[in-house]
Structure 1
Amino acid sequence: MNDPSEPTQSPQASSAAPAAGPSAPPAPPPARQETPGAVRRRASLAGAAVCVLLIIAIVLGSRLLTDFDSALLPYAVATVFLAFGITYRYTVWISSPGARRLFRQGWRSFFSAANFRRAPTALPRMIATYLGFQKFLGARSHARWAAHQLIFWGCVLAALITFPLTWGWFTFTSPTGSGPGYDMRIWGFKVLGFDALSFFGWVMFHGLDLAAVLVIAGASYFMWRRMKDRGAITGQRFAYDLIPLIALLVISVTGLLLTFSSIFLHGGGYEFLAILHMVSVVFTLIHLPFGKFFHIVQRPAAVGMQLFKYTARQDEQIFTCRRCGDPIDTTPYVENLQGTMRDLKLDFDEWAQYCPRCKRVLRGNAYLTHVKKGFK
């Protein structure tokens, strides 16, 4: 143990310091790093494989394209590009040492029978609170949390409707050919029948309009915030922060205008609106894996990490600061962080064993001892 009054080295000059005391086992060697070219090749192969699987699923799910609507072909092509982009970037992301370690630990905790026996409700509770209702955002601002929820559930509803319809998995058919009775079929099998003139029927045919209203409300708040909030204005970038919000608004507004045109304008301007809507949707789907919305794909991986930390706390595996003894985090999490730092060849991984306050104190002592004394 270090003496609190004894000066120590700064993180930049501490590579020679012992990692965890005399009784600690030797640190494992850092993981072998893949070359960027090898990572890109593997990501491209993974993306191509997912695209092939999606195309096969579209063909089989639409009953050999019998239920596939050719008018929706641009949307279907965009989803194939979306699948490639998400798979490509996700593969590249988890190839980095930090993400790879967290990814493996998350899946290990997810498939652990011991974790399930000890805390069977932990994973469903985390999915609901961390992924679904995103309660961690409420600590920042209740208004931002509400806006996130509006966008999240609006996009989820739109995706659940749009993707199956685009792929030909969902069909709505009328036994009489003219309504008002309709059958909803999935992969050709009848799921339920409903009256198009009933409230349920109205909701079924206007689900995308309801999703558009939710998204417009949430995206409008964030647009207003980025125009008024000084903190948001200072750090925002047009392509990264504003383009995604503009795309969501254009998709939602043009979608509502399509309904408005068909009901109140007898189809006036429908073709132009349909093309504008299609272009905005295709652009957003292709842009999604390489822009700000990629965090939607990354977020589920964070649930596994939360489960990893939660199960360690249940076992009371708490790592305490080497200097003051205050708890820092779970022991497996600190060890995972140190392993990542070794993989990145950061030669001060032992500093993960100190709490933030002690790090500042030790850095100050090192500065007084090794830097400022040169001015005396």
Structure 2
Amino acid sequence: MTEPPQTAEPTPAPDSPAQGAVQAPAPQTPAAVRRRAVLAGTAVSALLILAIVLGSRLLRDFDSALLPYAVATVFLAFGVAHRYTVWVSAPGARRLFRQGWRSFFSAANFRKAPTALPKMIATYLGFQKFLGARSHARWAAHQLLFWGCVLAALITFPLTWGWFTFTSDTGDGPGYEMRIWGFKILGFDALSVLGWLMFHGLDIAAVLVIAGASYFLWRRMKDRGAITGQRFAYDLIPLIALIVISVTGLLLTFSSIFLHGGGYEFLAILHMVSVVFTLIYIPFGKFFHIVQRPAAVGMQLFKYTSRRKDEELRTCRRCHEPIDTPDYVENLRGTMKDLKLDFDEWAEYCPRCKRVLRGNAYLTHVKKGFK
């Protein structure tokens, strides 16, 4: 195949911001970022404490035995808000964040693609179809892990905060009522299928999590590519923590049913410690991508809606093949400028031409130095 005619190395294009381009954010000092992050974390923690007090009807429905879990969720709220604020303060993340919200609240985008956001939430967040392109096994394991954690969170957090209560007129069943914020939602028989599902939802979640986490742990023990770049604290501890939480949770059920409560107190303490540790670890470890992922949906929405505009795609400055929409290319250039990368004009070249130009630069400036 004949190479296209080579041109000179890329030179910066005139600054002509495209429609909808976001101006570069003003630089922020680390001290200002930390101060803003602490304020955000404190505010979110205070709001959560207020929600716990009000949601539990001034603590009337709050179970004091679950106090360590509730305290851990307050620390979790502080850590997530603190780190998210620091992350969004970075120029590239801030631009992504702003473009995502701008696309989300755009009436024009909603008129042109009213189903785009629900579809992306379902495919990108819920079913994570992008993982299926890498490996069907990894996608299946991630789905087990994801839905197991979601189910556990939907059950555990409201119970911990005193928002959900299960009461029985007789004191020991089998008839129970589920109440949310003090309002009766439904009544059920503990011996029915619905009752079994209600009382064993966490066991189901534990089985899903164990299956998914075990696959990834096995892969990190066997796959050469995963072993090469993995770190124990970052890659292995999260999986081990999830398995410990799930196993100890199942053992609590096993103890209460088959051992008549034997060893229950020890298992309860072990389970509590593992849960509290994991909740506090989330904002500062690998689990933080759970919080970051929804922000990426906004950027996907921006890309999707910009491609639906009646505009021609921006073409490569070298081979003139289509690259992407003008809005997306200008947004990428803006991000590179925010990060002080003085080669943002390279965003206007296709991947193939970038490789050719890098090769030419190497031959011109490096190779000639060897005799």
TM-score range, shorter chain: over 0.9
Q: 2:252 aligns with which of 251, 258, 263?
A: 258
Structure 1 segment 358-369 matched on structure 2, within 5 A: 358-369=353-364
Distance 2:255 2:88 in 1: 45
Which position in structure 2 is the counterpart of 1:55? 49
Deviations 1:26-83 (A, max 9, x none): 9998432101111011000000000000000000000000000000000000000000
Which position in structure 2 is the counterpart of 1:280? 274
Structure 1 segment 320-359 matched on structure 2, within 5 A: 320-359=315-354
Structure 1 segment 1-376 matched on structure 2, within 5 A: 5=5, 7-9=7-9, 17-20=11-14, 24=16, 30-317=24-311, 318-372=313-367
Q: Which amino acid aligns with 2:112?
A: R
Quick check: 1:254–1:273 contact (8 Å CA) kept in 2? yes
Q: Which amino acid aligns with 2:198?
A: M
1:7 to partner: Cα distance: 4.5
The percent of aligned pairs where both chains have the same amino acid is 84
Instruction: Give the TM-score of the pair, scaled to structure 1.
Output: 0.93
Q: Which amino acid aligns with 1:352?
A: A
Secondary structure of the residue that 1:8 maps to in structure 2? Answer: coil
Distance 2:197 2:320 in 1: 58
Secondary structure of the residue that 1:94 maps to in structure 2? Answer: helix
Distance 1:367 1:226 in 2: 36
Q: Which amino acid aligns with 1:340?
A: T
Distance 2:94 2:322 in 1: 26
Instruction: Give the TM-score of the pair, scaled to structure 2.
Output: 0.94
Q: Which amino acid aligns with 1:8?
A: A
Quick check: 2:22–2:331 contact (8 Å CA) kept in 1? no
1:18 to partner: Cα distance: 3.1
Secondary structure of the residue that 2:184 maps to in structure 1? Answer: strand
1:325 to partner: Cα distance: 1.5
Unaligned runs of 5+ in 2: none
Q: Which amino acid aligns with 1:359?
A: K
The change in CA–CA distance for 1:295 and 1:225 in structure 2 (over 3 A counts) is: same
1:366 to partner: Cα distance: 3.3
The number of residues matched between the two structures is 365
Distance 1:236 1:67 in 2: 44
Distance 2:149 2:12 in 1: 51
Deviations 1:304-354 (A, max 9, x none): 111100001111442221111212222212111111111122111111110
The change in CA–CA distance for 1:319 and 1:295 in structure 2 (over 3 A counts) is: same
State the 4+ residue runs in structure 1 displaced beyond 6 angstroms.
Answer: 25-29
The change in CA–CA distance for 1:236 and 1:225 in structure 2 (over 3 A counts) is: same
Quick check: 1:184–1:191 contact (8 Å CA) kept in 2? yes
Secondary structure of the residue that 2:89 maps to in structure 1? Answer: coil
Quick check: 1:8–1:363 contact (8 Å CA) kept in 2? no
1:372 to partner: Cα distance: 4.5
